[in-house]
Chains A and B, each alone.
Chain A
């Protein structure tokens, strides 16, 4: 299935770009997705924390990614 990955802050530099279109096996969980991503971009392992948002909401590792989801990497936020 096709998904869109958006990366902000330091993750944009770690994965080499703001927006990527990706192909995932259907039924992929957020946890498995992160494993795939960390294999491809090992720099991600250096982060203090890495959360994932799908369609503008934070999700757990067990959350199942769906076709055409907008997946966002959320490294440690530092607003304010």
Chain B
């Protein structure tokens, strides 16, 4: 790949990592996201393609499957979001496009969404200030996915582990407002 001359800009230029008591908020800069939308009646074929390449069976309900490298989030009926951890990530999109040609719409979203990671015992307390979701550990567990909104901003959220750690993706143009709200909500934990 040719080295390009354009500098990528973070969706969250203001901060990269904020540490609070029992809570950290970090920017997930290098995430690749590709949306898959199966065409009618092709859902099973899409499934088997993904199974054969990545070894994961695409979820039929709001959960995440896969590992650190590539995972697939349920993203609506017959829709998924492939999430890659590598920088650049064009190859994820290209791979999927190549393999799913004629089966699904594959659209790059890596730049459309800005991702934050919340981790620590206080994460649920902070999220309760905007997210109208029940994140109780008995109800929402590691690898569960939800599409909802917080503070008037659409979010895609998935739980990474039981720390708990959550990744939250918001539309890029809202990133600034979202972090405004989140940092405001978390402020109370800074002193403690």
A in complex with B: no
Interface residues of A (CB under 8 A from B): none
